[in-house]
Amino acid sequence: MKEILLCKYGELILKGLNKGYFEKLLRRELENRLKSAGNFKVSCAQGTIYVEPLDENADIDEALALARKVFGIVSVSRAAEVEKDLESILKSAKEYIPPFLSGYRTFKADARRSDKRFPMTSPQISGEVGAAVLEAVPKIKVDLYHPDVVVMTEIRENAAYIHAGAFKGAGGMPLGSNGKALLLLSGGIDSPVAGYMMAKRGVSVDALHFESYPYTSEQARDKVLELARLVSFYSGKMNVNVISLTHIQEALRDGCDEEYFTLLLRRSMMRLAERVCDRIGAQAIITGESLGQVASQTMAALNVTDAAANRPVFRPCIGMDKEEIISVAREIGTFETSILPYEDCCTVFTPRHPKTRPELEKVLLQEAKLDLAALEDEAFDSLNTFVSDAYAS
C-alpha cells in the first residue's frame, strides 16, 4: 500500500476534443508547484490527476496544500493505492481509513467501479468496505443520507484507491488557458481580489502599479509587492510593473478643474496600461472596480475611463458589494496586508467634489489643457519591473 493524491477537476471534463490541451496545462502547473515539496510523479487518466511520491523525502502534506491552490483542481484526496483485490482493499479500509474518521460520528461507504472487469458490483464493494470500517472503528455509525464523511473506494484501470473525504480545491480553469491580462494593482482590498478572480478563469496575470513619490512611500510599494506575492500563491509568478505618476498628477492639479482630476488620472492610467500591455503581450486590462463604490466607479465615469482604452477591461468585482469582496480577500490571505496604512497614488490630490456623471466631451476639453502625451511618455520611461513569486526558492 502506498499513499498518493487524487486531484479531481471540474470544467475540463466539458472541453471535448480540447480536453487534452487543458489537462497538459494543468499537469504542467501542478508539476511546477510541487517542486518545493519533493520528487513527485504527476500523471493524468480518467478525469483525475495522480500525484505519486517517488521517494521518502517527498512531503505529501505540503503537496496536498500546494495542489489545493492550483486553479483547475476542484478537490484533492489523500488515498491509499492498493491491488485490485478484495483482500487488499479491506486491509486498507481497516488500517488506512480509521485516522481519517477521528472526530466524526457517522460515515457512509461508497464505491465507483470504472474497471467493469472487477468481479464485484459497486454496492457489493461498498457493503464489504463499510463492514470493515465498522470492525476497525466500532464507535462510528452508518448514515446513508447525511454522513459526516464518505469512505470512497475507486476501482480504476491500474489499481484500487480508497480515501475518506476530499479537500476543496481552488476550482476554475488552468492558468494560461484563457490568455494574458494586466492587473491594475493598487494597495487596496479590491484589486488583489480581481487579479485572483481572473487568474481563476485561466488568465495569466501580470500587474501594473502606479506610485507617486514623494507623495507615496516606499512602504506603499512594498505593500503592493507583498499583495502580488500573496496572490501568486494561486496565480503563480507575477511580474509587477511600477510607473511613477507624480508629474502627471501635479500637472492635473495645477492645470485642470479639480472635479475632473480623478477621471483624467484614470484615463492616463488606462493609456499607460495599454502601453504596458503592448510590451508584455497582454490582451486585456483588469481592475478591481465595483459599480457605484466611489465617484470614479459610476456607470458614466466608467464609460469615460473605458473610452481611453482599446483593449477589453475586465472588472470581476463589478457586481460585488464591499463585504463580498472582503470575504474573498480574507479567503485568499490578502485582506490584512491591504488594510495596512500606506496610501497609494489614487489618494493624492483627491478632489473634494468629483464628477459622478461626467460627459466625455468636457473631459476631452480638460485634457486639451495639458500636453498629456509628453507627460505619459515621461511616466512610461520610469517603468521598473519587480517579480513576486510565492514559490521562489
Torsion of CA 83, 49, 328, 267, to 10 degrees: 180
pLDDT class of 216 with cuts at 50, 70, 90: confident
pLDDT of 45-74, one tens digit each?
Answer: 888 999 999 998 999 999 999 999 999 999
Name the residue with higher pLDDT: 271 or 217. Answer: 271
Q: What is d(CA 336, CA 223) in angstroms, rounded to the nearest whole number?
A: 11
| pLDDT at residue 221 is higher than 70 | yes
- Which residues does 246 contact at the CB level (< 8 Å), separation at least 6? 211, 212, 213, 214, 215
Task: Report the alpha-carbon angle 26-274-28, nearest 5.
Answer: 10
Q: What SS3 class is residue 384?
A: strand
Please say if the pLDDT value at position 13 is more than 80.
Answer: no
pLDDT in tens, 142-165: 999 999 999 999 999 889 999 998
For 153, phi then psi, to 5°, come to -115, 125
pLDDT of residue 16: 66
* Residue 319: count of CB within 10 angstroms of its CB: 9
Please tell me the predicted confidence (pLDDT) of residue 113. 94
What's the CA dihedral at 73, 78, 83, 88 to 10 degrees? Answer: -150
3-state SS, one letter per residue, for 209-239: EEECCCCCCHHHHHHHHHHHHHHHHHHCCEE
> What is the per-residue pLDDT across 228-275, written as a single tens digit (0 to 9) for each?
999 999 999 999 999 999 999 999 999 999 889 989 999 999 999 999
Comparing 18 with 320, the larger pLDDT belongs to 320
Looking up cell 500523471, which residue turns up? 43
The reported pTM is 0.92
Dump pLDDT digits (tens) for 306-318: 999 999 999 999 9
Please, which pLDDT band fits residue 1 given cuts at 50, 70 and 90?
confident
Cβ-contact 271, 236 below 8 angstroms? no
Mean pLDDT for the chain?
93
Q: Could you read off the pLDDT of 326-337 as tens digits, one per residue?
A: 999 999 999 999
Distances (CA, A) of 134 to 80, 107, 154, 382: 18, 10, 19, 68
pLDDT score, position 294 = 84
Q: What is the pLDDT of residue 229?
A: 97
Residue 195 CA to residue 65 CA, distance in Å, equals 21
CA angle 191, 196, 200 (to 5 degrees): 145
DSSP string of 11-57, one letter each residue: GGGGGGGGHHHHHHHHHHHHHHHHGGG--EEEEEETTEEEEEE-STT
| Tally of CB atoms within 10 A around 117 | 8
Please check the confidence at residue 12 and state whether its pLDDT lies above 80: no
pLDDT at 14 over 70: no
Residue with cell 480574507: 330
What's the CA gap between 1 and 85, in Å, rounded?
A: 12
Percent of the chain with pLDDT over 90: 83
User: Is the predicted pLDDT of residue 97 greater than 90, yes or no?
Assistant: yes
| pLDDT tens-digit series, residues 99-150 | 999 999 999 999 999 999 999 999 999 999 999 999 999 999 999 999 999 9
Strand ranges, E, within the chain? 2-9, 40-45, 48-53, 73-82, 106-113, 141-142, 149-155, 160-164, 167-168, 180-184, 204-211, 238-244, 284-286, 313-314, 384-388
More confident residue, 143 or 13: 143
Residue 393's pLDDT is: 63
d(CA 291, CA 281): 28
